Amino acid sequence: MRALTWHGKHDVRMDTVPDPEIVNPRDAVIKVTSTAICGSDLHLYDHYIPTMQAGDILGHEFMGEVVEVGSRSTLKKGQRVVVPFTISCGSCYHCNKHQYSACANGLPADNQDIARQPYGHEMAGLFGYSHMTGGYAGGQAEYVRVPFSDVGPIVIPDGVSDDKVLFLSDILPTGWQAAEYAEIEPGDTVAVWGCGPVGLFAIQSAFLMGAERVIAIDHFPNRLALAKRFGAETINFEESATYDALMTMTGGIGPDAVIDAVGLEAHGLFFDNVIDQIKASTFLGTDRIHALRQAIIACRKGGRVSMPAVYGGFVDKFPLGAFMEKGLTLKTGQTHVQHYMPGLLNAIMEDKIDTEFLISHRMPLEDAPKGYKMFHDEQNETTKIVLKT
Ligand SMILES: NC(=O)c1ccc[n+]([C@@H]2O[C@H](COP(=O)([O-])OP(=O)(O)OC[C@H]3O[C@@H](n4cnc5c(N)ncnc54)[C@H](O)[C@@H]3O)[C@@H](O)[C@H]2O)c1
Ligand SMILES: [Zn+2]
Ligand SMILES: [Zn+2]
């Protein structure tokens, strides 16, 4: 089959690789029909995530048709399914608490120890996202093996287009969880750093959860325009100082909740960000946490910080004093996708959530390397790329 493979920094290629097969009784094989490139894939493309190996198949946002099932899969051949990016057993201690992205059984035995030293525990299994998360082949491919297919994939009713439901695989539940973790109360003002796919879904979700005002921060005019379309007020951080603007907009109180939907590759010529960048490029540091620092500094006293953004390592200049003295709380994590999928599918079917607005480009899977370059280099024009097989 044809698949997108990783070979190093800014080097992804379409290769011919062996077709996947059923390995365990709970597996299914999916013929991919649509798959998207994620902001998280850019962290791999820029080689910020360790334990990648040349030839790894990327992709964790995908859907398709069931073509093979193991003896204990509950899926049937011919069904259309969206697959969550988290690989979760459904019955361990964590899965029983619906903390699917903390599943203890998602990793093959050989990969269990990789994250133990830096994180204290193993990570969950994720599709196409390094060997620390299991080394699973991803879905930017013609076919993909889906472990625990009796737990993860959600069956899509006939007649609903791929483009409408594809984002149930990751970014829609991620934006929703981000808003849920912001613990929004009616009347709240919520500030969202980053108007990429995750930020834009967090904005829609925040309004649905009762936020009175959402303030969106980015520097790409097209992305800010999409935020406005959902009713957000906007700050272009290249035109105004974000902290000052937020204080003016909230009468000096600060937002009730702040959401960091930027992550470890924060943009901007800010003093702290330049230092982070130098440290990352000389292997003295890992993450650029400018957006998170700014969110904590701007958040009102007693407010909430939600951090869907991905970070990988150790940081300095973390405003621990501000965090403590203002009495903030922080919630974060890889998304518990399986927990949110059924409710969000209903919300899409009832037209409560708009998903297709986000797609700026559709292209054949064969053009995936071009898609990665565009999503990386032209973020103003490229909000989301969907690859079709
Ligand atoms: N927790 C999860 O399970 C999960 C799932 C999916 C994505 N993510 C993470 O969420 C983050 C966002 O994902 P995405 O797909 O929207 O990515 P993206 O790269 O498309 O969007 C990030 C946006 O942040 C903006 N930005 C950069 N620096 C900024 C700054 N200083 N202030 C304000 N905005 C700034 C960029 O201009 C861009 O529009 C990434 O870190 C991604 O890895 C997490
Ligand atoms: Zn993703
Ligand atoms: Zn589990």
Query: What is residue 202's predicted lDDT score, i.e. its pLDDT?
Result: 98
Which burial class, exposed, middle or buried, applies to 258 when counting CB atoms under 10 A from its CB (0-12, 13-18, 19+)? Answer: buried
CB 167 within 8 A of CB 181: no
69 has pLDDT over 90: yes
Query: What is residue 284's predicted lDDT score, i.e. its pLDDT?
Result: 83
306 has pLDDT over 90: yes
Q: How far is CA 150 from CA 55, 90, 91, 292, in A?
A: 28, 9, 11, 37
- CA distance from start to end of the chain: 11
Specify the pairing of strand 61-69 against strand 28-36. antiparallel
What digits encode the pLDDT tens for the residues 175-197? 999 999 999 999 999 999 999 99
Query: What is residue 10's predicted lDDT score, i.e. its pLDDT?
Result: 97
State if residue 310 touches ligand 1 by the CB under 6 angstroms criterion.
Answer: yes
Query: What is residue 281's predicted lDDT score, i.e. its pLDDT?
Result: 83
Specify the residue for token string 């890992």: 286
Average pLDDT, the chain: 96
Specify the residue for token string 């973020």: 379
Confidence of residue 282 (pLDDT cuts 50, 70, 90): confident
Q: How far is CA 124 from CA 116, 132, 230, 243, 273, in A?
A: 12, 9, 33, 36, 30
CA angle 48, 53, 55 (to 5 degrees): 120
Which of 375, 314, 380 shows the shortest CA–CA distance to 61? 375
Confidence of residue 200 (pLDDT cuts 50, 70, 90): very high
Confidence of residue 159 (pLDDT cuts 50, 70, 90): very high
142 has pLDDT over 90: yes
Query: What is residue 285's predicted lDDT score, i.e. its pLDDT?
Result: 82
Query: What is residue 204's predicted lDDT score, i.e. its pLDDT?
Result: 98
Residue type, 130: S
- Distance from the CA of 87 to the center of ligand 3, in angstroms? 8
- Distance from the CA of 61 to the center of ligand 2, in angstroms? 6
What digits encode the pLDDT tens for the residues 47-68? 989 899 999 999 999 999 999 9
Which of 149, 128, 135, 159 shows the shortest CA–CA distance to 66? 149
Q: Which ligand is nearest to the CA of 127?
A: 2
- Distance from the CA of 350 to the center of ligand 1, in angstroms? 27
Q: How far is CA 256 from the centre of its chain?
A: 23
Query: What is residue 225's predicted lDDT score, i.e. its pLDDT?
Result: 98
Beta bridge partners of 312: none
354 has pLDDT over 90: yes
Residue 310 CB partners (closer than 8 Å, separation 6+): 40, 43, 263, 264, 334
Query: What is residue 112's predicted lDDT score, i.e. its pLDDT?
Result: 85
Computed on alpha carbons and rounded to an integer, the radius of gyration of the chain in Å comes to 20
312 has pLDDT over 90: no
Give the residue whose CA is nearest to atom 2 of ligand 1: 334
Quote the CA–CA distance of 255 and 38 in Å, as a whole number: 28
113 has pLDDT over 90: no
Least confident window among 117-131, 202-216, 240-254: 117-131
Q: How far is CA 35 from CA 3, 8, 48, 193, 206, in A?
A: 11, 21, 22, 26, 26
Query: What is residue 323's predicted lDDT score, i.e. its pLDDT?
Result: 98
* Mutation test residue for ligand 1: of 40, 41, 42, 172, the one with most atoms within 8 Å of CB: 40
280 has pLDDT over 90: no
Residues counted in the chain: 389
Give the residue whose CA is nearest to atom 19 of ligand 1: 39
Q: How many CB atoms lie within 10 A of CB 312?
A: 17
* Mutation test residue for ligand 1: of 224, 286, 310, 330, the one with most atoms within 8 Å of CB: 310
Q: What kind and span of H or E run contains 280?
A: helix 271-281
Give the residue whose CA is nearest to atom 14 of ligand 1: 39
- Distance from the CA of 112 to the center of ligand 3, in angstroms? 14
118 has pLDDT over 90: no
State if residue 202 touches ligand 1 by the CB under 6 angstroms criterion.
Answer: no
DSSP 125-155: EEBTS-TTTT-B--SSBSEEEETTTTTS-EE
- Six-digit token string for 256: 């009730």
What digits encode the pLDDT tens for the residues 222-272? 999 999 999 999 999 999 999 999 999 999 999 999 999 999 889 998 989
For 340-356, what is the mean pLDDT? 97
State if residue 50 touches ligand 1 by the CB under 6 angstroms criterion.
Answer: no
Confidence of residue 41 (pLDDT cuts 50, 70, 90): very high
CB 235 within 8 A of CB 216: yes
State if residue 223 touches ligand 1 by the CB under 6 angstroms criterion.
Answer: yes
Q: What kind and span of H or E run contains 117?
A: helix 116-119
What digits encode the pLDDT tens for the residues 325-336? 999 999 999 999
DSSP 290-332: HHHHHHHHHSPTT-EEEE-S---S--SS--HHHHHHTT-EEEE
Confidence of residue 29 (pLDDT cuts 50, 70, 90): very high
